[in-house]
Amino acid sequence: MDKFVIRGGNPLVGTVRVSGAKNSALPCMAAAILTEDEITLENLPHVRDINTERKLLSSMGAEIWVDDTKPDRVKICCRTLSDPVAKYEIVKTMRASSLVLGPLIARAGVARVAMPGGCAIGGRPIDLHIRGLEKMGAVITQEHGYLEARVERLLGAHLVFDKITVTGTEDLLMAAVLAEGETLMENCAREPEVADLAALLIAMGAKIEGAGTSTMRVQGVSSLHGARYRINPDRIEAGTFLIAGAITGGDLTVADCNPAHMSAVINKLQEAGARVDVFGTDAVRVRGGGQLRAADISTEEYPGFPTDMQAQYMALATQAEGVSLVEENIFENRFMHVQELARMGANIKVEGRTATVRGPAKLSAAAVMCSDLRASASLVLAALVADGESILDRVYHMDRGYERIEEKLAGVGAQIYRMGNVFPTREDEKTAIE
């Protein structure tokens, strides 16, 4: 089991480069199911969840090639889907596997997808995905932990989401693009990752209006063709690095990012006393050093403060002068990092959906346990300022969504290294798939 060893105290100085967005790559990879042609995706991050999605697609019959000359480029061809089943062994390791449900039904008229089950941060139901597909004519039954879906051809419908759901919006958008007639989708998620998927679908020949807004109108087409598409930068990885620069009192430039997708986080860091400057359309510079000030956050759907940045922000709040209220409105159990931060000396009290953080607290290094992807990031950030050497266990959670984060952080002055099996190299991974 991999561990990180981190010695705190070094300000991070220099430039760190952001990888492609995991949460764009996952739906875009699933979109390959919608055509018999090959699609090429560029700027894919080298992270565990992408590997999982590749295994899932391969298990259904997809052909996948990693480009030797450019390892962040993947070609996917789903000409033959010999086994349109998302098996539990894979789905249980990644909830986003449910993203193949809509494309499979739209392409093949049949799908068998294991129910994802919950995860560390909550129940993660997919009732809104199912309700939308049923409204489009799919007959969906549940047995033995699997969803079975059948339909001659999906029919366009008027879909209104009871709750804003990112992958629900993506799943049903992929269903709608091959449905007969028009689909009007209201109360959609507006996350940039949804717009990324829509841009790929349009490049494949889909007819979509309103991508990235809360209302999308889709004219179904009879088939889609191949395309090449470059995934947007990961706004959550970028935000995590901004907090790393602020919490260590460093001077860090986060490059290859998209500042336009990061306004809520940039504004909050400025409110907390960090100096944050945007450079053009692909870089943000953060300078810490002064006393950080307490500032409250309340997580909201995009463009509000992202739930995926809540744990990272809480680590920063432990170092801010005063009382910061951290309210988590999206998931019911996304405070798993609190206990571990408290073991390092943080002063945090949780009542329902709100954590009260009193600072500044002097953090001391400790052996801590990662519980989920973003909680892991929070512990890394705390360890970067804690006094002494921390050991973070179960960093495989981190590897799900951060590409070689220990190398990127060490490259700007962090004292961090990975203990145990090194995360598979691109070569290892390529041979694992081919």
Q: Which of 28, 77, 78, 119 is catalytic?
A: 119
Residue whose C-alpha is closest to residue 17's, from 194, 198, 188, 233: 233
- Considering only 11-19, 121-129, 283-291, 384-392, which stretch makes contact with ligand EPZ by CB under 6 A? 121-129
Name residues contacting ligand EPZ, limited to 283-322 (CB under 6 A).
307-308
- Considering only 77-85, 158-166, 345-353, 405-413, which stretch makes contact with ligand EPZ by CB under 6 A? 158-166
Contacts of 258 (CB under 8 A, 6+ apart): 192, 232, 233, 235, 238, 281, 282
Q: Could you say which of 35, 43, 52, 167 contacts ligand EPZ (CB under 6 A)?
A: 167
Give the nearest distance from C-beta 365 to ligand EPZ in angstroms: 25
Q: DSSP strand E in 8-145: where?
A: 13-17, 38-42, 63-66, 74-77, 85-86, 110-114, 139-143
Give the nearest distance from C-beta 9 to ligand EPZ in angstroms: 28
Q: In whole angstroms, give the CA distance from residue 45 to residue 364.
A: 32
Give the nearest distance from C-beta 281 to ligand EPZ in angstroms: 23
Q: What percent helix, strand, coil does the chain show, rounded to 5?
A: 35, 25, 40
Name residues contacting ligand EPZ, limited to 64-93 (CB under 6 A).
none
Give the nearest distance from C-beta 165 to ligand EPZ in angstroms: 3
Q: In whole angstroms, give the CA distance from residue 417 to residue 405.
A: 10
Could you count the other beta carbons within 10 Å of the beta carbon of residue 208? 20
Name residues contacting ligand EPZ, limited to 91-110 (CB under 6 A).
95-96
# residues contacting ligand EPZ (CB under 6 A): 26
Question: Which one, 107 or 129, has the nearer CB to ligand EPZ?
Answer: 129
What string marks each residue from 220 to 259 as x (binds ligand EPZ by CB under 6 A) or -? ----------------------------------------
DSSP string, 339-354: HHHHHTT-EEEEETTE
Question: Which one, 49 or 393, has the nearer CB to ligand EPZ?
Answer: 49
Give the nearest distance from C-beta 200 to ligand EPZ in angstroms: 15
Instruction: Decide if residue 163 touches ligand EPZ (CB under 6 A).
Output: yes
- Considering only 5-13, 70-78, 163-171, 212-220, which stretch makes contact with ligand EPZ by CB under 6 A? 163-171
Q: Could you say which of 54, 337, 374, 397 contacts ligand EPZ (CB under 6 A)?
A: 374
Give the nearest distance from C-beta 251 to ligand EPZ in angstroms: 28
Residue 273 is given by DSSP the state: T
What string marks each residue from 322 to 341 as x (binds ligand EPZ by CB under 6 A) or -? --------xx----------
Residue whose C-alpha is closest to residue 159's, from 190, 130, 139: 130
HSE at residue 143, side-chain half, CA atoms within 13 A, is 4
Question: Which one, 79 or 163, has the nearer CB to ligand EPZ?
Answer: 163
Name residues contacting ligand EPZ, limited to 188-217 (CB under 6 A).
189, 193
| 188 classed as catalytic | no
HSE at residue 235, side-chain half, CA atoms within 13 A, is 24
Question: Which one, 124 or 343, has the nearer CB to ligand EPZ?
Answer: 124
Which tokens go with 248?
């260590």
Give the nearest distance from C-beta 198 to ligand EPZ in angstroms: 14
Q: In whole angstroms, give the CA distance from residue 286 to residue 13.
A: 10
256, 233 contact by CB (below 8 A): yes
Instruction: Decide if residue 125 touches ligand EPZ (CB under 6 A).
Output: yes
Q: Could you say which of 238, 309, 373, 409 contacts ligand EPZ (CB under 6 A)?
A: 373
Instruction: Decide if residue 26 touches ligand EPZ (CB under 6 A).
Output: yes
Query: E strand or H helix at 106, and its extent?
Result: helix 101-108
Instruction: Decide if residue 111 touches ligand EPZ (CB under 6 A).
Output: no
Instruction: Decide if residue 20 touches ligand EPZ (CB under 6 A).
Output: no
Residue whose C-alpha is closest to residue 142's, from 167, 117, 104, 115: 115
> 336-343 vs 310-317: helix axis angle to the nearest 10?
30
Backbone angles phi, psi at 236, to 5 degrees: -80, -40
Residue 164 is given by DSSP the state: -
Q: Which residues are tagged catalytic?
A: 119
Judged by the rule CB under 6 A, the positions of this chain that interact with ligand EPZ are: 23, 26, 95-96, 122-129, 163, 165-168, 189, 193, 307-308, 330-331, 373-374, 401
